[in-house]
Amino acid sequence: MSTESEKKDYSKAKRIKIHQPDADKADRFNPRNRIYVRAVDGLWSQLRRRLGWIAMLFFLLLPWIPWGDRQAVWFNLGEQKFHIFGLTIWPQDLTLLAAFLMIAAFGLFFITTYLGRVWCGYTCPQTVWTFIFIWFEEKLEGARNKRMKLDQMPWSFNKLWRKTAKHASWLFISLLTAMTFVSYFVPTTEVYRDVFTLSASGGIYFWIVFFTLATYGNAGWMREIMCLHMCPYARFQSAMFDKNTFIVGYDSKRGEARGPRSRKADPKKMGLGDCIDCDLCVQVCPTGIDIRNGLQYECINCGACIDACDTTMERMGYDKGLIAYTTENKLDGIKQKVLRPKLVGYGVVLTVMIVIFVYASATIAPVRVDVIRDRNQLFRENNDGLIENTFTLKILNKTESAHDYKLTVEGLPESQWYGLQQVHIAGGEVLTLPISIAVDPVDLSRSMTKIDFRVTAVNDDVNDGNVIEAKQESRFFSQ
């Protein structure tokens, strides 16, 4: 909500023109040309703030959720295991990661085609952290016009302590962000205990410092530069937009011609539209654009200009919606089409990928066996006159508890097994077991026989109908 002091100083701030995009393009790193985002309140701003805080709290609290003897979400790179609540993903299951990334991609395509860049405006980490930093900036340095004046003032104790407090708060949030991010890869309690007792490894300190500086630089200093010049999404979004995509749009037919006027004045008699040219839509824009110039790739669909314009329209006694979520067709008076081939195509592919991902996640085998044949010779005849093939079995127990496993071979008549046929494997352990299979040549009708190695858990706690087993195909050679 704009303050009274901002309203009184509006005309002066407008003369300064610090917020104007033309000035910003000259040198966005120059504090005199930086974008001073004005605070605004309204439906879309409240929604963005609430979603931002929810996303922030979810990110911060997720590593602290316990799950048995570990945290619920833990990407254990050392042991090559990804724990996500009750699901453990191994390198052999990384096709799930590919499927998840495809779901994320097509989900983004689908949402962008229908609702534009709402991801950028409401849930993108760059946007969430930027607005959190701006919140601290407003609390410590004041509203927009006060921040502008403070930057133009010479250094004093008042300016020093406010700037110091602001940057200290930014660094604190950045440090908390970095430690939380590292906690997804190293147990959370270990991170905080070892870091603050100065007993953490050099790698942990490196990544904490790296992500602290990255967050501080991105959300504190670069802000819209990331969105305008570094984010690839801003560049290829046009391939997903069409004239029925919801965008933040300005109704030029209703708003033009612009011009200031009193509340009691009749704009029609003055030859004016509803836009009073207050520039509030520019002042609240986090990327510093003027939405009245039409659709621009810099717009992140955050809705801040909608709230600012609706507040002005309400104050002037005009209808809201001069700036609103709309489509190009709607602005041109053309009937809007919700269902179109591109949107339906993205939706179908997204649905198929979700079904595949859910099925693959639900059917992850709790045990895996890989069979490696002896590379030195295909077969040999042993002292008993039997044809013998040598194999190496690699058995991975993908559960988090130990099990005893029984090993069998199928597809051979009256075979003899040389080696262990029952093994004990701890949770998450890989057992390498060399074995040999021998068969009487009289019982072999072909030179190569298809066989299957089967691994079955025999623990009492799995004899409840849910059998843990795996099977792997191989070949038995006799000639």
The predicted structure's pLDDT at residue 129 = 95
Q: Which residues of the chain have pLDDT under 70?
A: 1-33, 459-466
Convert 219-257 to b/e letters by CB count within 10 Å (16 or more is b): bbebbbbbbbeeeebbeebeebbeebbbbbbbbbeebee
The predicted structure's pLDDT at residue 420 = 93
Summarised one tens digit per residue, pLDDT across range 163-187 is 999 999 999 999 999 999 999 999 9
Summarised one tens digit per residue, pLDDT across range 122-168 is 999 999 999 999 999 999 999 999 999 999 999 999 999 999 999 99
- CATH class for domain 367-477? mainly beta
Domain boundaries, the chain: 4-239, 247-331, 367-477
The predicted structure's pLDDT at residue 33 = 65
The predicted structure's pLDDT at residue 115 = 92
**Residue 250 forms beta bridges with which residues?**
323
The predicted structure's pLDDT at residue 8 = 42
Convert 348-380 to b/e letters by CB count within 10 Å (16 or more is b): ebbeebbeebeeeeeeeebbbbbbebeeeebbe
The predicted structure's pLDDT at residue 465 = 56
